Amino acid sequence: GENVEQHPSTLSVQEGDSAVIKCTYSDSASNYFPWYKQELGKRPQLIIDIRSNVGEKKDQRIAVTLNKTAKHFSLHITETQPEDSAVYFCAASGGYSTLTFGKGTMLLVSP
Amino acid sequence: GAGVSQTPSNKVTEKGKYVELRCDPISGHTALYWYRQSLGQGPEFLIYFQGTGAADDSGLPNDRFFAVRPEGSVSTLKIQRTERGDSAVYLCASSLYSAGANVLTFGAGSRLTVL
- At A48-77, the pLDDT tens digits run 999 888 899 999 999 999 999 999 999 999
- A78 Cβ under 8 Å from any chain B Cβ: no
* pLDDT digit string (tens) for chain B, length 115 residues: 579 999 999 999 999 999 999 999 999 899 999 999 999 899 999 999 998 999 899 999 999 999 999 998 999 999 999 999 999 999 999 998 765 667 899 999 999 999 9
Q: Give the separation between CA B6 and CA B77, rounded to whole angstroms.
A: 11
In percent, how much of chain A has pLDDT > 90? 86
Task: Assign A47 to helix, strand or coil.
Answer: strand
Phi, then psi, of B106 in degrees rounded to 5: -95, 150
Measured between CA atoms, the residue of chain A closest to residue B102 is A32
Instruction: Count other Cβ atoms within 10 Å, centred on residue A31.
Output: 19
Q: Give the separation between CA B103 and CA B93, rounded to whole angstroms.
A: 10
A44 near A102, Cβ under 8 Å? no
Instruction: Count other Cβ atoms within 10 Å, centred on residue B87.
Output: 16
Helix-strand-coil split of chain A, %, nearest 5: 5, 55, 40
Chain B residues touching A103 at Cβ < 8 A: 40-42
Cβ contacts of A94 within 8 Å, gap of 6 or more: A2, A27, A29, A30, A31, A32, A52, B100, B101
Measured between CA atoms, the residue of chain B closest to residue A104 is B42
Measured between CA atoms, the residue of chain B closest to residue A97 is B100
Chain B residues touching A42 at Cβ < 8 A: 108
Residue A71's pLDDT is: 95
Chain B residues touching A31 at Cβ < 8 A: 100-101
**CA-based nearest distance B51→chain A, Å:** 15
Residue of A33, A14, A9, A7 whose CA lies nearest to A94: A33
**pLDDT of residue A96 exceeding 90:** no
Cβ pair A96:B99 closer than 8 A = yes
Interface test with A, best of B44, B96, B106, B111 (most A CBs within 10 A): B106
- A57 Cβ under 8 Å from any chain B Cβ: no
Residue of B94, B22, B111, B37 whose CA lies nearest to A46: B94
